[in-house]
Structure 1
Amino acid sequence: METALRPRKIIHVDMDAFYASVEQRDNPQLRGLPIAVGHGEARGVVAAASYEARKFGVHSAMPSVTAKRKCPELIFVIPRFDAYRAVSQEIHAIFAEYTPLVEPLSLDEAYLDVTENLKGMEVATEIAEEIRGQIKARTGLTASAGVSYNKFLAKMASDQRKPDGLFVITPKNGPAFVEALPVKKFHGVGPATAERMHRLGIETGADLRTRNLAFLQQHFGKSGPYFYWIARGVDERQVNPDRVRKSIGAEDTFSTDIHDFETARAGLQPLIEKVWRYCEVNRIHAKTVTLKVKWEDFTQITRSKTVTAPIASAGELADVSTLLLLPLFPVAKGIRLLGVSLSSLDGTTVEDKPQLALAL
C-alpha cells in the first residue's frame, strides 16, 4: 500500500464560489451582495451562489423559487460560461507551471500530484500556498487548497478552511482525521448512501472502520472496497491527467417512492439542468439520452434514445427524457431513483470532467 512507500504529495485546489466570484469581480456593484448565478424563472436552478447568499441556505442545484424564498434579496445573474472558461484556462496554466500531473474535475477544481514537480520544491504545503498566491495575483480570485498523501484526503482537506484557506492532512494524522469525520461529509457518500449508513449504525469514519469488507460489499456493492479503504485513510487512485469521459449523467434517490408521472417528470428536471449545464460549460455535444429507473425493490432498468442531431438545449433534453419516461406509466411499483445521462459525447475542451457533483 502507498503508506508503506514514500508518501505521495497531492494537492486539491478548489476555487471559492467560482461562478459567483467571477461575476462579483467583474461587476463591483455585486460585491458583498447575495447573488445566484442562474436563471430566476420558475423552473430555473441555481448554478452557483455567493457566500453572502449561502448564509441564507442558498446552494447550487437548488430550484430558483426555493432560493428566492430563502433569500428574498437574492440577485440572479445570467451565466457567462465563456468568461468562466477563460478564467479557468488562466488557473490551469498556473497549475501547469508546477506539474504535468493535473486532473481537472471541473472548470474550478483539480487534483495535482506534486511528489515530483517542475519547481523542485520539497514541501507540498509551500507549493499549495504559492499556487493560491499566483491565482489571487493573476485572476483576483481566491482558492482553497487541501494537501495530503492521497486524493480522498486532499479533497477532504480543501473543505476545512473555506473560503480562501489551506489545510494539511499528514500520513501520521490521516487515519485519525477520517475516524472523526461524519460519513455524510465523506467525498463519494451522497445523501441516500449516508442515510443507509446511518440505518446501519454508521455515523462516523470510526464506525465505518469497524465494518469488515464483506459487510460493506453486501450493503454497498462495488463501492464497498472504496469505503473500506478510505475508512483507514487509504486511497491509491492516481492523479490522472488523461482521463476521458464517455458519458455524463446525474441521478437522485427520492425520500419517498414515486408512483405518478408528473412527480417523476418533476424529479427529472433538476437532473436535466445539471447535465445540460455540464454540456454548456464544457461545450459538449451528445446524441444519446439514457433514462435510468431503480424501483422500490432495487431492481433497475434503462431506456435509451439516439437522436439524429446533437441535443441543442435543456428543453430538448427534457423532451427526449420525457419520451423515455412516459411508456413506463402506469407503474406497477414505486420508483426509488431516477437518472438521466448523455453519451456519444463530442467535445473539444480540456475540461472533460463533470462540472457539478454528478452521480455517474
Structure 2
Amino acid sequence: MERTILHVDMDAFFASVEVMDNKILKGKPVIVGGVSQRGVVATCSYEARKYGVKSAMPGYIAKALCPMGIFLNPRFYRYKEISNMVFDILNSITSKVEAVSIDEAYLDITEENRDPLEVAKEIKYRVKSELGLTISVGISYNKFLAKLGSDWNKPDGLMVISKKMIPKILFPLPINKVHGLGKRSVTRLNNIGIYNVEQLYKLEKEFLNEYFGKFGSEIYERIRGEDKREVATTRDRKSVGKERTLGIDTNDKEMLKEYLKEFAKNISTYLNDRNLGGKTITLKIKTSDFESHTKSKSFEYYLSNEEEIFGEGFKLLNSLELEKELRLIGLSISNLKTKEMEQLKFF
C-alpha cells in the first residue's frame, strides 16, 4: 500500500514567536541571534530575508545587509514551550510523528483513513487559531517528496506531490534540494557541471556509485521519487556536544584548554545522567576567516568520564598546528550506547 506522509515545518519559527509575543514587531525585519559582533543569526522573519539575511550568517554581515533589522537575543525556553504545543496538535492527529527538530516533523497518516488535504488543513487551522502562527505542509508518498512540498511555497504553504508529477517537477530544482547532498557533495557536482536535478538525472547509477560510494544509489533513486525511509516515532540522539564562539580570536592552547574542560564537564554530566557512553570524540574548530575543521578519534570502549573526555579532546587539539587564530571551538562525543547494553553484550 502506498504511504501517505506529511512534512510540517513552522515558518521562521523563532522570529514568528517573537512577533506573536510582541505585536509591535509585526511586519518588521526581526532577526533572532547575531546580537553581538561575533554572534550568528539563528533565524529571521521573511521581511529580513528580503535583504539577504539567513540562518547561520554572522551577525555583522546581517547588520550590513539589513541595518534597520531588529536584533533579538534568542529565548529558547519560550520556543520549546510553543514547540510542545505544536507537537500536542500533531500527536492528536496520529501516533506516528517523527520530530526532526524543534519546529519540524514528519507524520505518517497512511492508516488514519482520512483525506490528506483535510488533515493538512486541520493542522494549519489549529496552529493558526490556537497559537497564532503559520505552518507549511507538504504531502506525498515518501519523506523526501513531502519535505520538498513543505518548502515549495513558504510561508503558510501547502503542496501535494504525487507520483504522476515525478520526475519532471524535480528537474528545475537546484541539486542542494536533494536530501543527502551536503555542501561538499554539491560543490563536487558543480565542478563537473551538474547544477540542477535534470542534469543529475542523466547520470548513470554506476557513475554515482563510483562518485559517492553506496550513497550514490540512494541519490539515484531519490531523484526518481523513491525513498524507503520510514517515519520513526523515536529518534535516538546520535551525539552530544558543546561549542562556543570565542570573545576574541585566539590560538593560545592554554586558553582553549579551559573551554574543553567546561565542555567535557557538560558532556559527561549529560551522559552519566542518562547512563550513556560514547565511542568517538570529535574536536571542531572555526578559524578567524570562517573555515571549519573537525578531527575525530574512535575507541574500542565507551567513554563517559569527564577527565577522559577532556584528555582525549585536548590531545586532538594538541595534534593541530594552529597557524590561524580560532573564533570557535567545540567538543562532541558520538556512537552512543547505554551502559547496560554494553555490559549485557560483554557478559
Category of TM-score, reference length = shorter chain:
0.7 to 0.9
Q: Are 1:245 and 2:240 counterparts?
A: no
- In the alignment, what sits opposite 1:230? 222
Which stretches in structure 1 are left out of the alignment for 5+ residues?
A: 1-5, 251-261, 266-271, 294-299, 311-316, 332-337, 347-360
Q: Are 1:176 and 2:168 counterparts?
A: yes
Report deviation, 1:185: 2.4
- In the alignment, what sits opposite 1:127? 119
**In 1, distance between residues paired with 2:227 and 2:241?**
24
* Inter-CA distance 321–27: structure 2 relative to 1 (3 Å threshold): farther
- Following superposition of structure 1 onto structure 2, how do residues 299-310 of structure 1 map, counting pairs within 5 Å? 302-303=296-297, 308-309=305-306
AA of the residue aligned to 1:188: G
Q: TM-score, normalised by structure 1?
A: 0.73
* Inter-CA distance 62–237: structure 2 relative to 1 (3 Å threshold): same
**In 1, distance between residues paired with 2:58 and 2:90?**
34
**In 1, distance between residues paired with 2:151 and 2:29?**
21
**In 1, distance between residues paired with 2:316 and 2:40?**
23
Report deviation, 1:345: 7.2
Report deviation, 1:231: 1.6
Match 1:116 to one of 111, 114, 117: 111
Match 2:40 to one of 40, 45, 48: 45
**In 1, distance between residues paired with 2:305 and 2:237?**
21
**In 2, distance between residues paired with 1:247 and 1:201?**
35
Which stretches in structure 2 are left out of the alignment for 5+ residues?
A: 243-248, 253-258, 272-276, 286-293, 324-328, 338-347
AA of the residue aligned to 2:6: I
Report deviation, 1:37: 1.1
SS in 1 for 2:110: coil
Find the structure with the greater CA-based Rg: 2
- 8 Å Cα contact 1:153/1:174 also seen in 2: no
For the aligned residue pairs, the C-alpha RMSD in angstroms reads 3.7
Q: Are 1:218 and 2:210 counterparts?
A: yes
**Which stretches of structure 1, 4 residues or more, deviate above 6 A after TM superposition?**
262-265, 304-307, 320-323
**In 1, distance between residues paired with 2:240 and 2:218?**
21
AA of the residue aligned to 1:52: E
Q: Are 1:328 and 2:328 counterparts?
A: no
- In the alignment, what sits opposite 1:209? 201
- 8 Å Cα contact 1:148/1:170 also seen in 2: yes
Among all aligned residue pairs of Structure 1 and Structure 2, give the percentage whose two residues are the same amino acid: 44
- In the alignment, what sits opposite 1:194? 186
- Following superposition of structure 1 onto structure 2, how do residues 1-360 of structure 1 map, counting pairs within 5 Å? 6-117=1-112, 120-121=113-114, 123-247=115-239, 285=270, 289-291=281-283, 302-303=296-297, 308-309=305-306, 324-329=316-321, 341-343=332-334
After the TM superposition, which of the residue ranges 194-203 and 80-89 deviates more from structure 2?
Answer: 194-203
AA of the residue aligned to 2:101: S
Higher RCO, Cα 8 Å, sep 6+: 1
**In 1, distance between residues paired with 2:215 and 2:250?**
29
1:142-185 CA-partner distances (Å, limit 9, x unpaired)? 00111111000000111111001101101111322223322122
